[in-house]
Structure 1
Amino acid sequence: MNNKLILLNIVNLDDICIHSSSFSNCGRYLAFSYANNVSIYEVVSNINLKTLSDVNVDASFRSIIWIPYKNLDYYNLSDYRLFTVGLHGIINEWDLNLLRPKRSCTSYGGAIFSGVLSNSSDILIACDDGCVRSFSIWNEEFSEKKEELNFKKVHLRHNKRILSVCSVDDGRVFCGTADSMILICDTNNDEYSNVIKITSNRSKKRVKSENEKREDEPVSEENNVHVWCLLYISSENTLVSGDSNGNVMFWDVSTFTMSHLFTQHNNDVLSLGLLNNDTLFSAGLDSKVTLYTNNKSSNAMLLNDQLGANMKELDNSTKDSTTGWSVSGFKYPIKGDIRTLCINHVYGIVGSAGSSGSISLLRAFKFFDSKKSMYKLIYPSVSKFIPVVSMNSTKTLALCRYKHHCDLWYIPVSNLASSRDSDTTSVSDRSSDVELFNDNFYSNVPYKLCQMKMNQNKGGINSCLLSPQGDVVAILNQVGIQILLVNLKELKVSQVKFEYQNLIVSSMAFISNFELMINHFSEDKYVFSIYNVKDGSLSTVKYLDFNKHVIKISVHYNHTLCDFPSTAQFKGGKVWCVYYCLDGNVYISDHDNFLYFMLPRFDSNSRICSVSFNDNCEFLIAFSTNFKYYVYDISARVIVKYQGLMIQTIPNRVCNNNSLILNSFCISNLVIVQTTHNIFYFKLNEEPFAMIDSQDPEVKTPVSIKHNDEREQNKIDRNNSPNKKNFDGQRNSDNVRNKNKNDKYKGRIVIGPRRLYNIPSIENTIYEPVRYVKTNKSYKQGVVKEKGKNESKTEIVKFTDESSSKYTNIVKNEFIVHTDILLKDGKVNIISFKANIKDDFVRKKRYGN
């Protein structure tokens, strides 16, 4: 039996350029900005938690500032205040509890090129009008500090732009200008006290003409030097500058003279980062990250590196060189120019990002080790925890989310699943007289039905959902929820007025075709409500009282009870919801009994990123961001032992270290997992059953064996019994008593024999699926291209089962943003949406088996 993987290339990712980035003080979070967006990335769990958008589409952030609350341990995200400044001339503060804009203030001086936190806990900004201004963020007039964001004073005035600013603990401020100067001032004075003049002569090779035979001659060229970045080393009273000439200069602040000059960069140096007093990094438009070390009597530098669990020693390639600062080496971590560097002092990580739209995280103390230096390579356009694609229940419609609009596609999944290899009907063969959902109408090519554009002044789209029947669309942006009704026959879209625009909504999900589950902030706590699209009512779900900020809700249906859940079928354990919270906890709710429970966490450095239920929602499999998983018994509320282990680990050969598990599906004993870089599957070849303790007099044999023996014995007793009616009545009474027991399992929960048996009473609802093999080129067939300027290629990959490997890749080395499953005629059809991005570093990297 052939199963199929259908790869759809209809999702176009936005090209982004990352201009600023910054790690939090605890090293757990990374914030980076592109255009008018700020994304919060959790480093330890490798997950992009949320993307915050400014309603101003012209916003462009250039600096990100983390400020912890001093009375807290600043470990959680809500323990910080987050500020951004940018070229749009606005200072923004973001609420990290609600994950939305909190307050803002204009710069009063035009564009802001740089911003830092001063020694007096004020924000200093470098403005386009040549001034350095400070803004107070704490109101100290009260006994307890209160938050604020108000203009305080102007510290410096210059006749040219101020491009960079650096604050020192003793109150001094260094300012880099656009006219070859570094100004030094004090926060208590309004004028600068000293000036460091940078030479404007740049040595450049003179290009020969065609008739010239003489050697190239260096030519001196005068220009105004732009001082893009400044950094202060307190232990040596040294100031470091990076400028538009590609020079990195070390200045002795006591004498205002240059002590070192490095010309390693071929273009502007835009960012500097200090790991410790003896290790410095620089990066710029030439895609190069350069390492500088201060060689002293010993070059050993220790780091509490949690990634390696041992104390590390920096590379000793410069140990025998002369003392003082020197260049130790360089790398090209990403393609394109590098606009920003960020240093994680807790884990010893150097982050770099730029025009490629990717973020490279390097282990600083393994900088020269080509195999171990790379920690993570993040692709924000791909690694989105909130899905970018939503499909209806029949998998014929797909709603693709972009920054300010959504595209609705028709997917001829029935034709793709049943097509022959030679079925390549052209787009022009369609007839407009045939109804939309006639399988003979569409060929193997997806078709865009419509595009839904949102008002750009309402912020970017956070999530979009398609109802199970595909006729209702819910879109969540910075302002609120937009409800749209789609007439699929006439292709008309109408808007339903959402009366509750004052709700601060964090996440939502359809639990039926006209019921929308909403997590929102109300009366200083997070609550759940159900919005009915038909009558416009909003009812509170009172039993969900765990008061958590939910960033994602996924809905799962009990397929053994109903094929499609409607409002009337909402009860009875047919609909299960999974709530992924901002703090890392995951809750499961069953609306039949109005109950919920929390899943066990793996550890503090990982999150549960995907949960899949079996066919009758009796068991689930939870996957973590560090590629571990466990099987969980929902009724017994315990983790089931599998192959003698409570926690299973996916081998490194299966998954790319840079990937993130986005979706998982459990079909009988077959588990299909989709990451951002590949799709693989494995089988649960052993089944949970009660392990019998010999010391327990009530339980003597394993449940599966015991039930089989009881069936055989009951069959013999019934045939030999003179009164079969009484025997049947006694047996039914015993079954009722066993069914009503509170403890479904006694003893230790483990995984059993080689095939999946009932657990118990699951045997009648499952089927034994076909086995699968790894994909190679010989299995890829049925490739269809859509005509047009931008070709969308639909790949159909067939896979059958002859594999002896436990974990098998179906497809790899692809950027996959979403996956769904369609069961048809006993076959498994995997529908995946892939996308291409500019930086194809990971695509060329070989991994897997």
Structure 2
Amino acid sequence: MKETNHEEDGITQIHNASFYNLTPRFITCMACNKINKKLAVSRNDGTIDIWDMQYASFHEKTIVTGESSIEGMAWAGNRLFTVGLTGHLLEWDLTTLTKHQSQTATGNSIWCLDVNTEGTLVALGTEEGYINIFDISDEQMAYSKLFDKQQGRILCCKFDSTAEHLVTGGIDAIRIWDVKTGHAIHRMSYARQKRAQEVIVWSLQVLKDMTIITGDSRGIVTVWDGKNAAHLEEHHVLKADVLAVAVNEEENKFICSGIDPKIRIYALTEIKKEDITMQNWIKYRQKQVHDHDVKALICMGDKIFSGGMDGYLGISSVDRTTSSGIAKHGPFLQGPAVCVSSEKRLLLLRYPNTVEIWKLGKSTGIEQIEDEEEEIKEEVKEDDYPPVEEKVFLKYEKGPQKLLEMRSKHGNQITCSSLSPDGNWLVYSTMTEIRMFAFMAGEENKMSQVVRIKCLPQEFTACKNILFSDDSKTLFLGKIDNTVEVFSILSNGEIDHSQTIKTSKYIKDTIHLVAVSNCGNYFVTAGTCRTIAVWIKKDKHFKHHLNLPRYTAPTTAISIHRDSPRLVASFSDSKIFEYDLEEMCFTCTEKDCYVKDSETHCVNSIVLDHRNPNMFILHNDTSLFVLEKCLPDAVGGGDDGVKKKKKLIESKVAGLKLKFQKKYQHFIHLAWLSIDELVAVGVNPISLIEQLPGAFVQKKFGAD
């Protein structure tokens, strides 16, 4: 489908490509670093997504672990630890996104871990009932102690606030252990009738006053007095297993969910009975964020982070009652997962271990009448968006055609991929190797040809960023050590290494964004340390030019104007600026929330209009919007207003105003296809839901 928007500066055709069919990768566990507002999310394919939650949720990096599963995860300061079915305790380097150190535990599969409040000890629970303690102080990871073996697997464990005791949950009982001696000092069992199924404790939390809250396979949350090993109260909160329990920072509310995906919140309330005042947990609120099993819950401030089988990272509020406070982030790959070859109208789509190349069609120029369903989907309130002069849907001359589907060697996870602008070169990389192919798109009914390039320079190795120059003659590879290797693609097809750019002096953390100017003279990198560094080409080599003023929020997207050395960048707090790389000054800056959901979804990419440099086209997960650069209005009247307006004009620092906005569902990528055509790639949420197993079925009154 094509949509045409008539703007003051001409006509822009938008191709809505909705055939990007990603498989939902479900969330297995989560861990939060409350000091730095970081959230780690592990998925069933062994990847870990690191999110920055300081402002709008920003997916800043992905660790491809290569592990078969991740069953537990925890932060110790800025250090991230994981365990899984391989029986190893792993620490990850969050700069290089690789394994930092590893230790083998006693017992095979590890189901859970926890770190004490001081970040010096980590406890592991295994399939065979062993509890391992490791000393992780002073950046080490040394085996410390083994507790008495218990009967049955250990599925969850938590230190108390003093780290003197460890609470574990398994089959039919929870135990309280003395950390110094390694002996169990209390065993609290679940009473069950004869022939009843075993009670599995899936999750537990330990409060500062040693109150223990557990969720089990009966759908019941039980509250225990850990000091006296006594049962206090229990609540039948769900109709199926309670897989996750979380507690807010004030410890006056607990949140639970599971196979029955409703998220229920209970509050600690004082109840007066006769002359006695008692504290009991009372149902406080209920939320419907997910439609499938919820396997992980985390509380950070007023926010609840949830995830499970549908792969969505759900963000809701502990206290807010309206559904408008709910945001969801899909199980999508860290961008860029899409690449466009404008010269040959090709579209590259990256999947976890495959890449696809599609040939996009052209419009006939004949108007098409939308069906009722499409009209309903596109319907928006008039007061939500600026007025649009005209919107026309055009018919395709020929629909999109898949030219290539390529699977990575051994099915390894693909970390990055790219297609050259001229459509002749395809490159993809895994964590261990990189491959380059010469690609020739087949015309009409002819097959496409793919030839692997084997004679490559020794510097052509695995990477995490791939970028072609606009003329397809230069290739940039960003390595895990934050160096950037620059290669020249010669006219005879040979690949020649031309330079190594060492960025570690200027960027101290992972490089997650790269851009090169159309002229090929400016190369820009942005790191997760909030730094944007610029290199300029002199004497055929790139030399460091400048570092832009460091901003407090993460950089989410960067782009350079086609015909001028001006960089446009967006940040997770919704700020946008334009910076002149030659004059070394800001030419435009704006921090207004021009999009309703900018508090939850940050800008994913910036596309600059080469026909009008004052137009910025941006998008996030839910919207496409066009901003126009303009001088701000003077505030106040009289001589003061005139003086202020004159000062603004002299400073040449402009603002932005919203010109156009259009709603989307899961907007993944936006790029120019020709001088007046854009391609917008999205993921249909229905295609994600259709791939999921059956959800927990509940009978509703009056429904079939």
Using the size of structure 2 for normalisation, the TM-score is 0.80
1:402 is displaced (CA, Å) by 0.7
Does residue 589 of structure 1 match 2:546?
Answer: no
1:11 is displaced (CA, Å) by 0.9
Q: Give secondary structure in 1 for the equivalent of 2:335.
A: coil
Q: 1:423 to 1:296 in 2, by over 3 A?
A: closer
1:118 is displaced (CA, Å) by 4.5
Match of residue 127 from structure 2: 128
| Amino acid in structure 2 at the alignment position of 1:37 | T
- Which whole-Å deviations, capped at 9, do the CAs of 1:29-61 have from their partners, x for residues lacking one? 1001111111100012421011111224xx221
User: d(CA) in 2 for partners of 1:3 and 1:650?
Assistant: 25
Matches within 5 A, 1:317-396: 323-344=279-300, 347-364=301-318, 367-370=319-322, 373-374=325-326, 376-381=327-332, 385-394=334-343, 396=345
Q: 1:839 to 1:607 in 2, by over 3 A?
A: farther
Matches within 5 A, 1:471-620: 471-489=424-442, 491-497=448-454, 498-500=456-458, 505-511=463-469, 512-520=471-479, 526-532=482-488, 534-541=493-500, 546-558=506-518, 573-591=519-537, 594=543, 596-601=545-550, 603-604=551-552, 606-620=553-567
User: d(CA) in 2 for partners of 1:177 and 1:702?
Assistant: 72
Q: 1:446 to 1:176 in 2, by over 3 A?
A: same
| Amino acid in structure 1 at the alignment position of 2:81 | F
Q: Give secondary structure in 1 for the equivalent of 2:343.
A: coil
Residue identity over aligned pairs, in percent, reads 18
Does residue 164 of structure 1 match 2:124?
Answer: no
| Amino acid in structure 2 at the alignment position of 1:230 | L
Q: For the pair shown, which has the larger CA radius of gyration, 1 or 2?
A: 1
1:102 is displaced (CA, Å) by 2.0
- Which whole-Å deviations, capped at 9, do the CAs of 1:213-236 have from their partners, x for residues lacking one? xxxxxxx9711000111221222x
Does residue 241 of structure 1 match 2:92?
Answer: no
User: d(CA) in 2 for partners of 1:372 and 1:27?
Assistant: 26
Of 820, 833, 836, the match for 2:671: 820
Matches within 5 A, 1:663-702: 663-667=606-610, 668=612, 669-684=614-629
Q: 1:503 to 1:408 in 2, by over 3 A?
A: closer
Of 397, 405, 422, the match for 2:346: 397
Q: Give secondary structure in 2 for the equivalent of 1:260.
A: strand
| Amino acid in structure 2 at the alignment position of 1:449 | L
1:686 is displaced (CA, Å) by 5.5
| Amino acid in structure 2 at the alignment position of 1:402 | Y
Q: 1:101 to 1:502 in 2, by over 3 A?
A: farther
Q: 1:500 to 1:297 in 2, by over 3 A?
A: farther
User: d(CA) in 1 for partners of 2:135 and 2:285?
Assistant: 41
Of 559, 570, 575, the match for 1:623: 570
Q: 1:682 to 1:166 in 2, by over 3 A?
A: closer
User: d(CA) in 1 for partners of 2:112 and 2:341?
Assistant: 46
CA contact 2:314–2:329 (8 Å) conserved in 1: yes
Match of residue 18 from structure 1: 27
User: d(CA) in 2 for partners of 1:806 and 1:234?
Assistant: 49
1:250 is displaced (CA, Å) by 1.1
Of 677, 680, 684, the match for 1:836: 684
Does residue 449 of structure 1 match 2:403?
Answer: yes
CA contact 2:27–2:311 (8 Å) conserved in 1: yes
CA contact 1:343–1:349 (8 Å) conserved in 2: yes
Match of residue 236 from structure 2: 263
Q: 1:639 to 1:821 in 2, by over 3 A?
A: same
Q: 1:536 to 1:634 in 2, by over 3 A?
A: closer
CA contact 2:95–2:510 (8 Å) conserved in 1: no
User: d(CA) in 2 for partners of 1:146 and 1:629?
Assistant: 38
Runs of 4+ in 1 over 6 A off after TM superposition: none
1:258 is displaced (CA, Å) by 0.7
Q: Give secondary structure in 2 for the equivalent of 1:156.
A: coil
Of 415, 419, 425, the match for 1:466: 419
Q: Give secondary structure in 1 for the equivalent of 2:576.
A: strand
Q: 1:839 to 1:285 in 2, by over 3 A?
A: farther
Does residue 66 of structure 1 match 2:75?
Answer: yes
User: d(CA) in 2 for partners of 1:538 and 1:461?
Assistant: 23
Q: 1:161 to 1:683 in 2, by over 3 A?
A: same
Q: 1:443 to 1:592 in 2, by over 3 A?
A: farther
User: d(CA) in 2 for partners of 1:702 and 1:190?
Assistant: 75
| Amino acid in structure 2 at the alignment position of 1:335 | D
1:64 is displaced (CA, Å) by 1.0
1:191 is displaced (CA, Å) by 4.4
- Unmatched 5+ stretches in structure 2: 1-9, 371-395, 634-638, 640-644, 690-704
Of 65, 68, 71, the match for 1:54: 65
CA contact 1:527–1:541 (8 Å) conserved in 2: yes
- Which whole-Å deviations, capped at 9, do the CAs of 1:810-845 have from their partners, x for residues lacking one? x31322111111344xxx21111111235999xxxx
Does residue 199 of structure 1 match 2:182?
Answer: no
Q: Size of the alignment, in residue pairs?
A: 622
1:659 is displaced (CA, Å) by 5.0
User: d(CA) in 2 for partners of 1:341 and 1:323?
Assistant: 24
Matches within 5 A, 1:412-427: 412=361, 415-416=362-363, 419-421=365-367
1:199 is displaced (CA, Å) by 1.6
CA contact 1:410–1:446 (8 Å) conserved in 2: yes
Of 8, 15, 19, the match for 1:6: 15
Match of residue 41 from structure 1: 51
CA contact 1:654–1:807 (8 Å) conserved in 2: no
Q: Give secondary structure in 2 for the equivalent of 1:591.
A: strand
Match of residue 808 from structure 1: 660
1:290 is displaced (CA, Å) by 2.2
- Which whole-Å deviations, capped at 9, do the CAs of 1:189-242 have from their partners, x for residues lacking one? 4543332110224xxxxxxxxxxxxxxxxxx9711000111221222x322211
| Amino acid in structure 2 at the alignment position of 1:675 | N
Q: Give secondary structure in 1 for the equivalent of 2:157.
A: strand
Does residue 406 of structure 1 match 2:355?
Answer: yes
Q: Give secondary structure in 2 for the equivalent of 1:329.
A: strand
Q: 1:500 to 1:342 in 2, by over 3 A?
A: farther
Q: 1:527 to 1:655 in 2, by over 3 A?
A: closer
Using the size of structure 1 for normalisation, the TM-score is 0.67
1:184 is displaced (CA, Å) by 2.6
User: d(CA) in 2 for partners of 1:268 and 1:543?
Assistant: 52
| Amino acid in structure 2 at the alignment position of 1:267 | A
User: d(CA) in 1 for partners of 2:646 and 2:321?
Assistant: 52
Matches within 5 A, 1:632-711: 632-640=579-587, 646-653=589-596, 657-658=600-601, 660-667=603-610, 668=612, 669-684=614-629
CA contact 1:622–1:629 (8 Å) conserved in 2: yes
User: d(CA) in 2 for partners of 1:687 and 1:327?
Assistant: 50
CA contact 1:156–1:185 (8 Å) conserved in 2: no
| Amino acid in structure 2 at the alignment position of 1:649 | D
Q: 1:687 to 1:532 in 2, by over 3 A?
A: farther
User: d(CA) in 2 for partners of 1:448 and 1:337?
Assistant: 34
User: d(CA) in 2 for partners of 1:492 and 1:447?
Assistant: 15
- Unmatched 5+ stretches in structure 1: 69-79, 139-144, 202-219, 299-319, 425-441, 559-572, 689-693, 695-700, 704-744, 755-804, 842-849
